[in-house]
Amino acid sequence: MENKHKLQTLLDHLEVFQICDSTFPIGTFNHSFGMENYLHDRRIKKAPEFQTWFENYFKSQFKYGEGLLTVLCWRALEKDELEKLWEYDDIITNSTLALETRNGQKLIAKQMLALIKRMYGTIKPLDTYEARIKDGESAGSPAIVFTIFAKHQKLSLMDTFMMYGYSIGSTMVQNAVRAIPLGQRDGQVVLHDVIALLGDLYPVVKKLDEAYLGANVPGLELAQIKHETQGSRLFMS
């Protein structure tokens, strides 16, 4: 019985981990979320500059954005407070100033939601979220979609935060490998350091409340806004 339970727990985690894979086809490979503007301005040239940018991204935009969003949504789902999710969707959407980034998040959320539903069928909170997005009542956030699925798979709060952070990290490293270009070995070293950073961020983020949701730093936001009029580019944002 114990081995059967452990196996099911592992399967539940692996099914979530599949969604964390950088090859999961939800469109994140089309977005750099401002990194390409730093590359265009020659502020990112090789691995060291990318690592500095990447760590700052996690310490600011991820920390107060999607990272905190996973924590808040997991807790709302634990209390069966779905209305809170729609409030958080509104806050995170309206606090994302760059149009490309905002639209990119909406598109990724829709594709993630559609593929999860195709693979797993009916998951009630996801069905409700999908209906709200179609009716224009919610914008759509991949962090919310991911957290609903992770909670459905019985992942803990910490596992949900860490796995979503890994999904962001692994995908953006692969985007940097293509764009800078960054060597695959250098990319894995950067990703390894970001995984350690997630471990430092989690105990801090779990203490934050919704008043911090959507806080950001001007440099990252300005780069995302400037990308909209950038002459040559590989990514949509």
The whole-number pLDDT of residue 228 equals: 86
pLDDT digits (tens, 9 = 90+) for 187-228: 999 999 999 999 999 999 999 999 999 998 888 889 898 888
31, burial (CB in 10 Å: exposed 0-12, middle 13-18, buried 19+)? buried
Domains of the chain in sequence order: 57-226 (1.10.4190.10)
Average pLDDT, stretch 44-71? 95
pLDDT digits (tens, 9 = 90+) for 63-110: 999 999 999 999 999 999 999 999 999 999 999 998 999 999 999 999
pTM, two decimal places: 0.95
Confidence of residue 57 (pLDDT cuts 50, 70, 90): very high
